[in-house]
A = this chain, B = another copy of it.
Amino acid sequence: MDKKNDAITSRDVDFAKWYTDVCRKAELMDYSPVKGFINYLPYGYGIWEAIKAFADPLFKEKGAENVYLPMVIPMSMFNKEKEHVEGFAPEILVATVGGGNELADPLVIRPTSEILFSDLYKRLVKSYRDLPKRFNQWCSVVRWEKTTRPFLRGSEFLWQEGHCLFETEKEAVDNALEMLEVYDRIGRECLAIPFLKGKKSKHETFAGAVATYAIEALMHDGKALQAGTTHYLGQGFAKAGGIAFLGRNNALETPYQSSWGISTRLVGAVIMVHGDDNGLVLPPMVAPDQVVVVGIRVNDEKVQAACQDVFARLKKLGIRAKLDIDPAKTPGWKFAEYEMKGVPLRLEIGPRDLEKGEAALSIRFSGEKRTVKLDDIERLVPELLRQIQEGMYLAAKKRLEASIVDVETIDELKEVLAKGGYARMAYCGGEECELKIKEITGGGTARCIYKENIESGTCPVCGKPATVIAYFAKAY
């Protein structure tokens, strides 16, 4: 595709610069006065709203109930959870003054809410009859990050955190796996992003979890992005939190826990998976504007009326449509603008089109251009949006699959990771070997496990028998 937007760095010249150019020029975000904290502007927040609107009913279908817990955790409680503290202490923001007085027990601004959920469940869960509990909250969390990038890593970000409690181990494991499938579906049907999904290696498992599962996406620059995780937490957190219930046999038992989360990082994934040198390319399901109707020669009253008519008809179909009949800007400027903003479908209506009862149609994702009969709008536009959504998913899937290379040696691994994409390799599964791989490849890590309990092959690092096959990649 021709590069039309000089304000945006080419991806191949400097992908990081391309990314921030797109975030800024497409008005997805704005930097706030506090380093690492961003203003989510309507166009960027709109993407998150669309994701939330798609995901929330799926969570509820799986029995999740939404709650809201405080944004503050007493330092005394926070310090009790040792493993937790080690993971988050370097990153916490602490409030020490409230209502003009020094606080006896300072308050940690939540970096995540395990502690508060444990505290709540301790009071709510008394009997097996109170189980399962599947609480979820949509909120923001704060982590004092040194290096931040819009949507990918910020000192405050928006997310959902599901924290569930079950009577049996099986239910908790099943929940972690079931929610991984839900996340995968969000990718497939909403973000048009195919994920590699699977268990994390020991080294990459969440501190305190028995097993972590992840969805991993491939960015245009060949790097992986962890886009969401689900955890089977066993009984560790519940024991530490003192949660116990009277079981069916009238004895006190400890429940089994799972948790799962996705965040505004998904907005970053959408940008980096689909974007091109002209800017954003948005899948219809998350696009704040799915169709833009642009008038050509808008001083012509007939053109204005036709644009307004088409706009109203699209709205009536429930389509997020935008109307642009602003006489102050040229059609050329507008085309470049809406391409940069990644609007999936553009309809142009001018006097000549009107004479023929037509509109010119342009598809952002494929670059395809054609004409449509105005009478055909109702039939054609929803169908095209569906096709674009599917086409974008399939194209991304093709790229993902083409990027996967089976390797057996460290040299092959290095070669694949230097080029970008995923290397699928058997290894011993040990943490030490993973650390060595990271060093040797300059940042390559096991993203998720492809196959467990394999019985042939050798670890290319330590030479011991291989136990798992994993996807390796450099990651954000």
Which positions in A face B, CB cutoff 8 Å?
30, 32-34, 37-42, 45-46, 48-49, 65-74, 77, 89-100, 106-107, 109, 116, 119-120, 123-124, 129, 135, 139-140, 142, 144, 146, 156, 158, 328
Of B38, B45, B67, B107, the residue contacting A39 (CB under 8 A) is B67
Do A39 and B109 touch across chains, with their CB atoms under 8 A apart?
Answer: no
Alpha-carbon separation in the docked complex, A41 to B137 (Å): 10
Do A37 and B89 touch across chains, with their CB atoms under 8 A apart?
Answer: no
Do A67 and B95 touch across chains, with their CB atoms under 8 A apart?
Answer: no
Do B39 and A144 touch across chains, with their CB atoms under 8 A apart?
Answer: no
Do B328 and A129 touch across chains, with their CB atoms under 8 A apart?
Answer: yes
Do B30 and A70 touch across chains, with their CB atoms under 8 A apart?
Answer: no
Of B33, B70, B142, the residue contacting A74 (CB under 8 A) is B33
Alpha-carbon separation in the docked complex, A93 to B65 (Å): 30
- Which residues of B have CB within 8 Å of A97? 92-94, 96, 106
Do A74 and B34 touch across chains, with their CB atoms under 8 A apart?
Answer: yes
Q: Contacts A38-B70, A97-B93; is A32 near B109 (CB within 8 Å)? A: no
The 6 closest A-B pairs by CB, nearest first: A99-B144, A42-B65, A37-B70, A40-B68, A94-B97, A98-B144
Alpha-carbon separation in the docked complex, A99 to B108 (Å): 11
Do A66 and B42 touch across chains, with their CB atoms under 8 A apart?
Answer: yes
Do B95 and A66 touch across chains, with their CB atoms under 8 A apart?
Answer: no
- Which residues of B have CB within 8 Å of A33? 73-74, 77, 116, 119
Do A94 and B95 touch across chains, with their CB atoms under 8 A apart?
Answer: yes
Query: Which residue of chain B lies nearest to A48 when distances are taken between CB atoms in the complex?
Result: B68
Alpha-carbon separation in the docked complex, A66 to B124 (Å): 35
Do A70 and B156 touch across chains, with their CB atoms under 8 A apart?
Answer: yes
- Which residues of B have CB within 8 Å of A40? 67-69
- Which residues of B have CB within 8 Å of A74? 33-34
A365 to chain B, nearest CB (A): 25
Chosen A-B contacts, 27 in total, with CB atoms closer than 8 Å, are: A30-B120, A30-B123, A30-B124, A32-B120, A33-B116, A34-B70, A34-B72, A39-B67, A39-B70, A39-B120, A41-B67, A42-B66, A45-B68, A46-B65, A71-B71, A71-B109, A71-B140, A71-B156, A72-B156, A93-B95, A93-B99, A93-B107, A94-B95, A95-B95, A95-B109, A97-B106, A99-B146
- Which residues of B have CB within 8 Å of A123? 30
Alpha-carbon separation in the docked complex, A69 to B65 (Å): 26
